[in-house]
């Protein structure tokens, strides 16, 4: 007896022993869904289909065969024995197609399932990856610092190599154009600190020491720290975006092809400009912050500007100003090299430019605050 329920594409003749499978019709992508449904029902009824050999499979009725149909044939036969039996009855080109599809499905089926990891394992893995990235980033940063210092020393021996036009342009961009935002921010922070100091010190009848609080905090810490954070967000990101865009457009490769050193042409002018701009902006931040505190003292505490600056002159030593200013070139160098290094690390896409720009800002802010904290501890231990 012949099963006819699936006679559109295949039929199983059960008169002979073992049964004989007849394949027919178009085994193509157009019939892919229908073939899948019929094969599912057929295999549920005939579990021994995989035991057929070459003598018991008739593929002469197949009128068309493509990759999708070959995939369904592999699914129908299910075993290597039945598949080899079918290959023996097919023309060479169809046999090669079926064999390639079968090999692909076998390779895909042998892939090990993804191992399920616990929450603790996942957490430790992420911590390990973060530490590895931190180690690599630290090594790259130290190496880049060495390159820039070597270039600075080499160009100091030959002053004619300085690109003063580029340095002047960068000073205007990083210094002069940043004066309004630095002055405004430090002025407002100085006013806020004066308000807070007056509120706390009023309970002790010591509002006069608000002058010392404002002057001491801005000369030693706030002016240079706020300026460095602004430069990290404004200048480091600009350096990364500029060099990253040049990297994406292969302009840096063109500079190398011309026999020029990108460190000398692109990095040194930016470092020198920030080394000049940062101390000047820090000084402006000190003045603006103190003026903000003086304004609050004059309005809210009845401390006149004359009295304010008289107390300032008598109670604040010059060393506080020097301790604040000495940190400015260090912060400037760190901001410049991180911004330039992240720009050189851009891979070429717009997404990479955005990622490294964000990374430059985060790194510079973190390192600036870390260095400032370490410097504050050092100065305190030294009694300065």
* Same-domain status, 177 and 275: yes
Confidence of residue 290 (pLDDT cuts 50, 70, 90): very high
Average pLDDT over residues 347-362: 84
Place 5 in a pLDDT band, splitting at 50, 70 and 90: very low
Average pLDDT over residues 316-324: 87
Residues 28 and 177 in one domain: no
- Whether residues 294 and 356 fall in one domain: yes
What integer is the mean pLDDT of 110-121? 65
| Whether residue 164 is found in the same domain as residue 99 | no
The verdict on 87 and 38 lying in the same domain is: yes
Average pLDDT of the chain is 82
The answer on 249 and 360 residing in a single domain is yes
| Residue 210, token pair as written in the block | 């608000």
Instruction: Enter the tokens of residue 4.
Output: 């006819």
- CA 184/CA 166 separation, integer angstroms: 28
Q: Does residue 147 share a domain with residue 18?
A: no
Question: Are 83 and 163 within one domain?
Answer: no
If asked whether residues 186 and 258 sit together in one domain, one would say yes
Q: Tell me whether residue 188 is in a domain.
A: yes
Query: Percent of the chain beyond pLDDT 70?
Result: 84
Report the number of distinct structural domains present in the chain: 2
User: Of 45, 79, 109, which closes a domain?
Assistant: 109
Domain boundary among 79, 109, 139: 109
Instruction: Tell me what the mean pLDDT of segment 81-98 comes to.
Output: 70
pLDDT at 41 over 80: no
Q: How many angstroms separate the CA atoms of 72 and 200, rounded?
A: 81
Mean local confidence (pLDDT), 235-245: 89
Residue 121 included in any domain: no
Average pLDDT over residues 26-43: 78
Beta strands at 10-13 and 57-65: parallel, antiparallel or unpaired: unpaired
In a domain, 75, yes or no: yes
Give the pLDDT score at 275: 92
Domain assignment of residue 122, yes or no: no
In a domain, 153, yes or no: yes
The pTM of the full predicted model, rounded to 2 decimals, is 0.67
Shared domain for 78 and 183, answered yes or no, is no
Q: Which of 105, 28, 122 is nearest to 66 (CA)?
A: 28
At residue 251, the pLDDT reads 86
pLDDT of the residue at 141:
87
- Is residue 224 within 8 A of residue 327, CB to CB? The reply is yes
Tokens 């706030």: give the residue: 222
Clarify whether residues 337 and 260 are in a common domain. Answer: yes
Q: How many CB atoms lie within 10 A of CB 167?
A: 18
| Residue 265: band (very low, low, confident or very high) from pLDDT cuts 50, 70, 90 | confident
Query: Residue 6 pLDDT > 50, yes or no?
Result: no
Q: Return the bridge partners of 352, or none.
A: none
- Choose the final residue of a domain: 75, 109, 143: 109
> Quick one: pLDDT band at residue 371, thresholds 50, 70, 90?
very high
Q: Is residue 74 domain-shared with residue 169, that is, in the same domain?
A: no
* Domain containing residue 84: 10-109
């Amino acid at each position: 007896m012949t099963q006819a329920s699936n006679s559109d594409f295949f039929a199983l003749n059960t008169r002979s022993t073992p049964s004989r499978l007849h394949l027919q019709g178009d085994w193509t992508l157009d019939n892919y869904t229908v073939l899948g449904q019929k094969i599912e029902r057929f295999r549920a009824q005939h579990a021994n289909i995989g035991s057929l050999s070459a003598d018991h499979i008739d593929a002469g009725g197949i009128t068309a065969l493509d990759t999708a149909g070959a995939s369904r044939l592999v699914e129908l036969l299910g075993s290597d024995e039945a598949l080899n039996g079918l290959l023996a009855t097919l023309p060479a080109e169809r046999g090669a197609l079926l064999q390639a599809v079968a090999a692909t499905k076998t390779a895909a089926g042998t892939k090990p399932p993804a191992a399920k990891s616990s929450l603790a394992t996942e957490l430790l893995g992420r911590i390990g990856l973060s530490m590895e990235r931190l180690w690599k980033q630290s090594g790259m940063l130290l190496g880049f610092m060495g390159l820039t210092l070597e270039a600075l020393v080499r160009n100091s021996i030959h002053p004619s190599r300085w690109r003063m036009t580029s340095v002047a342009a960068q000073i205007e961009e990083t210094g002069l154009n940043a004066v309004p935002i630095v002055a405004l921010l430090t002025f407002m922070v100085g006013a806020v600190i004066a308000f807070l100091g007056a509120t706390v010190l009023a309970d002790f009848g010591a509002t006069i020491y608000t002058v010392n609080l404002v002057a001491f905090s801005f000369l030693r810490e706030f002016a240079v720290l706020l300026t460095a954070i602004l430069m990290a967000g404004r200048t480091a990101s600009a350096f990364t975006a500029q060099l990253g865009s040049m990297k994406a457009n292969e302009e840096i490769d063109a500079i190398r092809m011309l026999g020029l050193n990108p460190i000398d042409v692109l990095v040194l002018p930016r470092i020198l400009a920030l080394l000049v701009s940062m101390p000047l902006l820090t000084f402006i931040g000190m003045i603006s912050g103190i003026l903000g505190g003086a304004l609050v003292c004059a309005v809210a505490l009845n401390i006149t500007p004359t009295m304010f600056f008289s107390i300032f002159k008598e109670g604040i030593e010059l060393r506080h100003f020097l301790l604040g200013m000495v940190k400015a070139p260090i912060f400037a160098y760190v901001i410049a090299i991180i911004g330039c290094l992240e720009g050189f690390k851009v891979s070429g896409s717009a997404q990479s430019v955005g990622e490294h720009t964000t990374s430059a800002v985060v790194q510079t802010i973190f390192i600036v605050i870390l260095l400032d904290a370490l410097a504050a501890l050092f100065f305190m231990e030294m009694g300065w």
